[in-house]
Amino acid sequence: MVAGAAAYLSIRFLVRYFETRTLTPFAIYCLLMGALCTVRFVVAQLPRVPVRCWPCQPRQ
């Protein structure tokens, strides 16, 4: 019952929202998140360079 009521209220809100407004904010959000994900996955594919810290290096 609760899920049905929540679905009804959600649909009612969205129908009224789209009658008076546009999807421009959602489109901007999708473009920004798409660009962010693209940058993140490109960076993840870059080869990793091993980093040696000063205390970890053997003494000579």
For the chain (60 residues), the mean pLDDT of every run of 10, in chain order, is 96 90 90 96 83 63
How many Å separate Cα 40 from the centre of its chain?
A: 10
The pLDDT value given to residue 40? 94
Q: What is the pLDDT of residue 44?
A: 87
Give pLDDT, residue 60.
58
Structure token pair of residue 42: 């490109």
Position 30 scores a pLDDT of: 95
- DSSP result, 4-19: HHHHHHHHHHHHHHHH
pLDDT recorded at residue 59: 57
The pLDDT of residue 27: 92
